[in-house]
Each structure stands twice: as structure tokens, then as C-alpha cells.
């Protein structure tokens, strides 16, 4: 994956109403009272705390195509949250065993592909998939499918109206079960593919598409589940 070149620009965080996050969370707890969740966004202590309060075990993987926001102090805060609660653990190739109390695991070094099959009940992909070239995204989505338990879910975003390209990835911050804030990154030139709706459906052809919603900003919010008919391979 080619790292984008940087150029500085600032912007204010933007909040939006999520039409899929509450269903994502509901499906997690139906699968496992202490579900393992893979977060593919920029490290955010607030997300770890939010998910941990709901019994989730969280692994964070910031992919090369995802850039850090202009406020790196929040990353440090995120790490301190885990330590303060005594729940942060060293990175490992698989989620930590279920603890008696909700636990949050932060793993930043390894590739998501290094986890065993069926390691997670859910994946918060944010806009990581939309930043990949189409052929790379196809293989990556298939790798995520293999990491999911049967019935596991993926929440993903495809920013901008169909046909729009460019822009910088930022930090997605969960505010509540139906509110998400996007904290923009330092602006970087990104040759992002222009995903049409039909191409999004094609990416998730081996999943059950639960919902594809158009937000007011033009972003497509997508919730999919691992299809039982393809769970064996």
C-alpha cells in the first residue's frame, strides 16, 4: 500500500447520526456477551472505553492508509485510559481471553491478517476499506470475512458522494450508540477510488448486506454480516 504525501490543513470535527452503529452493537452482544472487536481506525481512547463498558475486547489496528489526526495528544490519552483501568495488555496475535470484567486490548503493531480465523465478532472498518484500490480492497474484505465468527458484523464508511475522490482519513470517535464524530486528519493527498454503490455491494458479495445508508454528507454507511452460506470456507 502506498503511503500518501502530506500537506497541512485544519478542519473542525463533524458529528453525524449513525443509522447502523446501534445495530452493530446489538448484533455483537447476541453473538457473545464479551465480543472481540477489531477497530481499524486511528487509536481513540474514547472508543476503547465505550466498547469496553459494553463488555467488548478491543484490538486496534491503524492501517498504513489511515493517517493520524492533527491532534496526536488524543492517542496518548487513549493509551492512558487502558492503563488507568488496568485493562491494557501487550499486543498478541489473537484477542485476550474473556476477563471477569469488561476488558479492552490495544494491539497496534501486527497486521490484521495475523489473527486466527474466527477471532472477532465485529470489525469497525470506518473508512479504511474505501481508501484502498479496488483490487486490494477485494482481498482485504475477504480476509476480514475469515476473521469473523459466523454471523459477525462489519461497519464501514465510504465518504463523499459516489464518484468523489481524495480527502484525508481521520479519527472516528463514538459519542453514543447513534452518534459518531469524525476528527479530520492533517490533510494528505489520497488517490482514493471512486466507489459506486454497486461496487460496494460487489465488495461485500459474500456477506449479507444488512443496511446501506446515505448520510446527509453523501457518505455511505454500510453494515454487513458474515453470511452463513459462506461460513465454512
Residue 177 has pLDDT above 90, yes or no: yes
Identify the top-confidence range among 6-15, 98-107, 116-125, 186-195: 116-125
Mean pLDDT on 67-88: 39
Give the neighbor-by-neighbor strand order of the sheet with 120-126: 57-60, 36-39, 120-126, 148-158, 220-226, 207-214
Q: Does 173 score more than 90 pLDDT?
A: yes
End-to-end CA gap in the chain: 26
Write down the pLDDT at residue 113. Answer: 67
pLDDT digits (tens, 9 = 90+) for 19-58: 999 999 999 999 999 999 999 998 899 999 999 999 999 9
For the domain spanning 14-230, the CATH number is: 3.40.50.150
**From CA 148, how far away is CA 27, in angstroms rounded?**
13
Asked if residue 231 has pLDDT above 60, the reply is no
Identify the residue with better confidence: 8 or 41: 41
Q: What is the pLDDT of residues 149-168, one digit of tens each?
A: 999 999 999 976 654 544 44
pLDDT of residue 184: 72
- pLDDT single digits (tens) 94-124: 444 333 334 444 443 335 568 999 999 999 9
Distance (Å, rounded) from C-alpha 44 to C-alpha 52? 12
Return all residues near 4 (Cβ < 8 A) that are at least 6 apart.
Answer: 65, 67, 188, 189, 190, 191
pTM for the predicted model, two decimal places:
0.75
CA distance 204 to 227: 10
Comparing 95 with 223, which gets the higher pLDDT?
Answer: 223
Residue 214 phi, psi (nearest 5): -100, 115
Sequence spans of domains, the chain: 14-230
- For 68, counting Cβ atoms within 10 Å of its Cβ (0-12 exposed, 13-18 middle, 19+ buried), the class is middle
Q: SS3 of 14, please?
A: strand
186 — pLDDT class (breaks 50, 70, 90) = low
Amino acid at each position: 500500500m502506498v503511503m500518501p504525501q502530506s500537506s497541512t490543513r485544519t478542519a473542525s470535527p463533524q458529528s453525524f447520526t449513525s443509522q447502523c452503529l446501534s445495530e452493530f452493537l446489538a448484533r455483537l452482544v447476541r453473538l457473545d456477551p464479551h465480543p472481540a472487536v477489531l477497530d481499524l481506525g486511528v487509536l481513540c481512547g474514547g472508543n476503547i472505553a465505550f466498547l469496553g463498558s459494553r463488555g467488548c475486547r478491543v484490538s486496534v489496528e491503524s492501517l498504513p492508509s489511515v493517517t493520524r489526526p492533527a491532534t496526536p495528544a488524543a492517542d496518548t490519552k487513549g493509551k492512558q485510559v487502558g492503563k488507568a483501568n488496568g485493562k491494557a495488555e501487550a499486543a498478541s496475535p489473537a484477542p485476550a481471553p474473556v476477563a471477569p470484567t469488561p476488558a479492552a486490548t490495544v494491539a497496534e503493531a501486527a497486521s490484521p491478517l495475523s489473527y486466527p480465523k474466527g477471532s472477532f465478532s465485529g470489525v469497525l472498518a470506518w473508512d479504511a476499506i474505501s481508501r484502498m484500490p479496488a483490487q486490494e480492497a477485494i482481498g482485504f474484505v475477504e480476509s476480514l470475512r475469515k476473521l469473523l465468527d459466523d454471523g459477525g458484523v462489519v461497519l464501514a464508511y465510504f465518504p463523499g458522494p459516489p464518484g468523489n475522490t481524495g480527502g484525508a482519513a481521520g479519527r472516528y470517535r463514538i459519542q453514543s450508540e447513534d452518534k459518531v464524530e469524525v476528527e479530520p486528519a492533517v490533510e494528505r493527498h489520497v488517490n482514493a477510488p471512486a466507489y459506486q454503490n454497486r461496487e460496494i455491494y460487489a465488495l461485500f458479495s459474500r456477506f449479507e448486506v444488512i443496511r446501506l445508508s446515505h448520510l446527509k454528507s453523501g457518505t455511505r454507511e454500510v453494515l454487513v454480516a458474515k453470511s452463513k452460506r459462506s461460513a465454512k470456507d
